[in-house]
Amino acid sequence: MASLSLAGVSKEFNKMTAVSPLSLDIADGELVCLLGPSGSGKSTLLRMIGGFERPSSGQVLIAGQDVAHTRPDKRPTAMVFQSHALWTHMNVFDNVAFGLKLRKMSKAAIETKVMEALELVGLGGYHKRMPRQLSGGQQQRVAIARCLVLEPKILLMDEPFASLDQHLRERLREEVRQIQRKLKITTLFVTHAQDEALALADRIVVMSMGAIEQVGTPDEIYANPETQFVANFIGTMNMIPGTVSGGRIRASGFDLGAEMADGPAVLAIRPEDFAITETGTEVTVKRVVNLGPFLLAEAEHADGTAITVHLDKTHPVREGGALTLTAKRHAVYRDGDKPYRSQPTA
Amino acid sequence: MIGFIKRLDWPGYVLALFLIFFILLPIVTVFLWAFTEQWFYPSVLPTKWGLRYWFKVLERPDVWAAFFTSLQLSAIVTALSAVICLPAAYAFARMEFPGKQFFMMSFLMGNAFPRFALIISIAVLFLSLNLVGTYLGVVIIQLLNTILLMIWLPTAAFQAVSKNMEEAAMDVGASPLRVFWHITLPQALPAIGAALLMTFVWTFYETEGAWLVGAPRVQTMPLLMMSMINNQLVVQYGAVLSVALWVPSLIALLMARRVMGSDSFAKGLGA
């Protein structure tokens, strides 16, 4: 196991910037998720760490050693691909054993290690099967075993569960988390699914357009998004355009504190950060959805702004009825400015 | 109602009749003639069966000489074609270089010309190079015939190998050469096997090039068949040689199926 540091790493394809120069430190044994929409540069970044893309600039340091220009087969990394990438002409045993055979280990040692790895991913007894005889989830477990058996210093996972159904994804990500904790292996996990990142990661790196928007723990990222992009991308956030004047923002009937320069800005309030009060901003409920533990009300302000509110199930609410809202907690964003965050009220 | 329409699958029946008439019937006729000693009109089947013409054909030393010449030529041309075309196919599939599309299309364009005219112009060139009437000349002309198949089919096969599979192999420590040997080649093997087999069979049956460049000194089986039929029109000679020529391709096909497995072999042929 080892730490991973990126120092000024960038990538250009035909003069188009895929990843702007960025730096990042990942501690030994940490599980970090690279989260972002398609085209945000997260997979390119992962491929540069794995050696499949050569950085246009910067250093990729694994345990302090720069491997930016080292071939993938010479790097202490192992990658799980989205497409599983199992070798269909080999059975499960040979798929997992291939890397060990290249390292010229003895037959007995290879057999022991392969069987252990397959047991670890819950596929004991499947070693003679061909990849086509396995389900998508089982194939991905073989791909994980193929990486783990080599005891890499860094484990890279490129949207490994993207092709699996929701139930299987949740199960596998729990298993991956358990294995990662057990082996204490430094892991970088690429995903575009925020629920996956929030559930798995020690820290999340949110990326957009080839740059890092924010690095933080799942709680920090969710509670205190540092940019408008992160606020919009993580969880559900009501983003209401408004104007700041004299230290207050006025937007769709809300009049809230905003210690920033005067001008246009965006008021951000999470659905669960509204309170139903006697006085406040009045909205009309358009639709109510029962989400189990709470109700989700899709409402609309008189100026046409859509507002999503989470309500306690005991709260009387009906479609077409009115709600009077105040914000328990809010933030104000403007590109290029430091965001303003209110202190939560009781 | 739907079941009734399905039972009367007329296009299917028409297609079946078409296949029987144009493919099965000529083959059956050739087989019948090969084992016929007499067949007079209006009898539907031969009036006298026998192996007399087989003995006549097989006791001729020039038949065996031509057979082994054809076998040897096919093996040499297929091997040379593999050595030249497979690396080229890999380069076309996996590398970027100037003129790549042009070269790919040029193989196709070469085959779009009327074959006979093309071979005549090559034969004229060979004449000035003293290659006409030589074994080497026949090898070269037949080799040129195989390029389209031996580049296009393996190129498609190499392109179809998932890049992630190759990267996964590199990722676990395989050098580029090992990736090619352990992953890329086995993945592309069914299609490459099909291309090799078709090259072998095509070369074995190739007539125009062998005739224009090789005749009369280099005598292949198809050339011998032509001369036997031209000299005395005995249908049985042609039929016996046709069946005899069919045997090597059948053996090659059966061997290929045995080595590669019917599924992957069919996949290689595009099934």
My answer on whether B110 and B33 are in the same domain is no
Note down pLDDT in tens along chain A; length 346 residues: 678 999 999 999 988 999 999 999 999 999 999 999 999 999 999 999 999 999 999 999 999 999 999 999 999 999 999 999 999 999 999 999 999 999 999 999 999 999 999 998 889 899 999 999 999 989 999 999 999 999 999 999 999 988 888 888 888 888 889 889 988 999 999 999 999 999 999 999 999 999 999 999 999 999 999 999 999 999 899 999 999 999 999 999 999 999 999 999 999 999 999 998 888 899 999 999 988 888 899 999 999 999 999 988 887 788 888 899 999 999 999 988 889 988 766 5
Residues A212 and A303 in one domain: no
Q: Select from A31, A76, A79, A26 the least CA-distant residue to A184.
A: A31
Determine the residue of chain B that is closest to A77 in CA distance.
Answer: B171
Alpha helices in chain A (DSSP H): 42-50, 92-102, 107-120, 136-148, 166-183, 194-200, 218-223, 228-233
The residue of chain A with its CA nearest to that of B260 is A89
Say yes or no for a CB contact (<8 Å) between B168 and A89.
no
Q: What are phi and psi of B154, to 5 degrees?
A: -65, -35
B56: in domain: no
- Euclidean distance between CA atoms B251 and B197, whole angstroms: 11
Please tell me which of the candidates B164, B170, B178 has its beta carbon nearest to residue A72. Answer: B170
In chain B, residues with a C-beta closer than 8 Å to the C-beta of A77 are 171
Which chain B residues are closer than 8 Å to A102 by Cβ? 172-174, 178
For residue A217, being part of any structural domain is answered with yes
Amino acid at A231: A
Q: Do A73 and B175 touch (CB under 8 A)?
A: yes
CA distance B167 to chain A (A): 7
For residue A330, give the CATH number of its domain: 2.40.50.140
- Give, in order, the Cα–Cα distances in Å from A220 to each of A4, A33, A72, A195, A198: 22, 14, 34, 15, 10
Q: Name which of B45, B58, B105, B106 is nearest B243 in CA terms.
A: B58
Mean per-residue pLDDT of chain B: 84
Asked if residue B129 and residue B260 are part of one domain, the reply reads yes
pLDDT of residue B111: 73
Tell me which chain A residue has its CA closest to the CA of residue B184: A87
Shared-domain flag, residues A51 and A98: yes
Q: Looking at the domain assignment, is residue B247 inside a domain?
A: yes
Which among A83, A88, A102 is the nearest to B173, CB-wise? A102
Asked whether residue A214 falls in the same domain as residue A272, the answer is no
Of the pLDDT bands very low, low, confident and very high (cuts 50, 70, 90), residue B6 is low
- Do B229 and B147 fall into the same domain? yes
Q: Which two tokens stand for residue A115?
A: 């069987």
Q: Which residues of A touch B187 (CB under 8 A)?
A: 87-89
Q: Are residues A26 and A64 in the same domain?
A: yes
> Where is average pLDDT lowest: A223-227, B99-103, B110-114?
B110-114
Distance CA A162, CA A83 (A): 9
CA gap A114, A93 in Å, rounded: 7
Residue A174 has, within 13 A of its CA and on its CB side, a CA count of 6
CA distance B170 to chain A (A): 5
How sure is the predictor about B194, in pLDDT bands with cuts at 50, 70 and 90? confident
Asked if residues B148 and B111 have their Cβ atoms less than 8 Å apart, the reply is yes
pLDDT at A10: 96
| Burial class of residue B7 in the structure, from the number of CB atoms within 10 Å of its CB (0-12 exposed, 13-18 middle, 19+ buried) | exposed
Domain identity same for A273 and A201:
no
Å between A240 CA and nearest CA of chain B? 43
Nearest CA in chain B to A71: B170
**Total domain count, chain A:** 2
B231 touches chain A (CB under 8 A): no
Same domain, A198 and A57: yes
Identify which of A209, A183, A224, A207 has the alpha carbon closest to the alpha carbon of residue A33: A207
Candidates B164, B172, B175; nearest CB to A78: B172
A247 and A183 within one domain? no
B166 to chain A: closest CA residue: A85
Mutate to test the interface with B, among A44, A75, A81 (most CBs of B within 10 A): A81
Question: Do both B97 and B198 map to the same domain?
Answer: yes
Of the candidates B164, B171, B178, the beta carbon closest to that of A78 is on B171
| B251 and B149 housed in the same domain | yes
Is A111 contained in some domain? yes
Q: DSSP string spanning B148-159?
A: HHHHHHHHHHHH
Helix, strand, or coil (residue A206): strand
A163 part of contact set with chain B, CB < 8 Å = no
Binned at pLDDT 50, 70 and 90, residue B86 comes out as: very high
B101 assigned to some structural domain: yes
Q: Does B162 touch chain A (CB under 8 A)?
A: yes
- Domain range for residue A283? 238-341
Contact between B164 and A87 using a beta-carbon 8 Å cutoff = no
Q: Is residue B200 located within the same domain as residue B110?
A: yes
Looking at the structure, tell me whether residues A158 and A44 fall in a common domain: yes
Partners of residue B96 on adjacent β-strands: none
Q: Are residue B168 and residue B36 in the same domain, yes or no?
A: no
In a domain, A233, yes or no: no
Q: Is A139 exposed, middle or buried (0-12, 13-18, 19+ CB in 10 A)?
A: buried
- What pLDDT, on a 0 to 100 scale, did the predictor assign at position B261? 56
Based on the fold, state whether residues B104 and B232 are members of the same structural domain: yes
The DSSP bridge pattern shows strands A211-216 and A331-333 to be unpaired
Distance, in angstroms, between B168 CA and closest chain A CA? 7
Q: Under an 8 A CB cutoff, do A73 and B173 touch?
A: yes
Domain boundary pick from A228, A260, A290:
A228
Residues B27 and B154 in one domain: no
Q: Please report, for the domain that includes residue A167, its CATH number.
A: 3.40.50.300
Is the residue at A297 inside a domain? yes
> Is B100 a domain residue?
yes
Parallel/antiparallel/unpaired status of strands A31-35 and A186-191: parallel
Among the three residues A228, A255, A289, which one is the final residue of a domain in this structure?
A228
The reply to whether B257 falls in a domain is: yes
Residue B147 within any structural domain of the chain: yes
- Looking at this predicted complex, what is its ipTM? 0.84
Residues 6+ apart with CB under 8 A from B240: B34, B53, B54, B57
DSSP characters for A219-246? HHHHH---SHHHHHHSS--EEEEEEEET
Query: Within this chain, do residues B99 and B22 fall inside the same structural domain, yes or no?
Result: no
pLDDT at position A278: 84
Full domain range(s) for residue B126: 61-268
Work out how many domains chain B is built from and give that number.
Answer: 2
pLDDT of the residue at A208: 95
* A30 and A155 both lie in a single domain: yes
Contact flag B174-A103 (C-beta cutoff 8 Å): no
**CB of A133 less than 8 A from some CB of B:** no
User: Residue B171 — pLDDT band, cuts 50, 70, 90?
Assistant: very high
Say whether residue B170 is in contact with chain A using an 8 A CB cutoff.
yes
Q: Which two tokens stand for residue A169?
A: 């994804």
B170, B116: one domain: yes
Contacts of B178 in chain A (CB under 8 A): 102
Cis amide leading into B42 (omega within 30): yes
State which of A186, A201, A228 marks the end of a domain.
A228
- Check whether residue B17 and residue B81 sit in a common domain: no
Q: Is residue B81 part of a domain?
A: yes
The answer as to whether A346 is a domain residue is no
Q: Inform me whether the C-beta atom of residue B187 falls under 8 Å from chain A C-beta atoms.
A: yes
Per-residue burial over B95-111, b if 16 or more Cβ lie within 10 Å, else e, is eeeeeeeeeeeebeeee
Burial of A248 (0-12, 13-18, 19+ CB in 10 A): middle
Tokens found for residue A4 = 């991973």
- Here the CATH number for the domain that contains residue B109 is 1.10.3720.10
For chain B, give the number of residues.
271
Output the six-digit token pair for A8.
């000024």
Q: Is residue B55 part of a domain?
A: no
Q: Check CB contact under 8 Å for B172 and A102.
A: yes
Is the CB of B173 less than 8 angstroms away from the CB of A103?
yes
* Structural tokens at position B192: 């490459």
